[in-house]
């Protein structure tokens, strides 16, 4: 335990030194940036291909409370949260999984809600492929 605390203290001193301040003190404009650095997820945007459309809205952009709200549409109809929480859609736009929280029902400002495009940053899960909307009734 002592070794971990010593290592953590040493890393704090290195971080302060890297910011150009005296040991143990960071410049006021750098406080918090080292600990909570998080790249902005993206800009508000809408992408479409074939019958699919994905609309992304960023709540509180550029802050620590930044959250993504993703809405997925098929033939103009919004797709709601699937019954299978591990399910995903393979679309011409990419693979989409649901966060488990519908847009408008976030618990915390930084919650990601709705549909999320699978990327390296948002790797998704090991669920199962969902049938495209309308195909499960046939």
pLDDT digits 0-9 by tens, 6-60: 444 444 444 444 455 444 454 555 444 444 344 455 579 999 999 999 999 999 9
- pTM, entire model: 0.62
67-74 and 113-117 beta bridge pairing: parallel
pLDDT bucket at 131, cuts 50 / 70 / 90 = confident
CA distances from 1 to 22, 35, 46, 125 (A): 27, 21, 49, 34
Q: Comparing C-alpha atoms, which of 33, 32, 78 is closest to residue 54? A: 78
pLDDT digits 0-9 by tens, 51-96: 999 999 999 988 999 999 999 999 999 999 988 888 899 999 999 9
Q: What is the pLDDT of residue 137?
A: 45
Q: Tokens 């693979």 correspond to what residue?
A: 95
Using a pLDDT cut of 70, give the percent of the chain over it. Answer: 62
Q: How far is 133 from 33, CA to CA, in rounded Å?
A: 43
Domain residue spans of the chain: 44-118
Q: Tokens 């989409």 correspond to what residue?
A: 96
């Amino acid at each position: 335990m002592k070794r971990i605390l010593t290592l953590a203290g040493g890393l704090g001193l290195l971080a302060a030194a890297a910011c150009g301040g005296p040991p143990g003190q960071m410049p006021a404009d750098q406080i918090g940036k080292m600990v909570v650095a998080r790249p902005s997820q993206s800009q508000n945007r809408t992408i479409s291909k074939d019958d699919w459309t994905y609309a992304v809205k960023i709540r509180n952009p550029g802050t620590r409370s930044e959250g993504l709200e993703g809405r997925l549409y098929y033939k103009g109809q919004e797709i709601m949260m699937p019954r299978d929480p591990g399910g995903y859609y393979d679309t011409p736009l990419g693979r989409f999984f649901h966060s488990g929280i519908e847009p408008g029902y976030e618990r915390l400002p930084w919650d990601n809600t709705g549909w999320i495009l699978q990327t390296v940053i948002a790797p998704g899960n090991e669920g199962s492929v969902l049938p495209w909307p309308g195909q499960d009734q046939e």
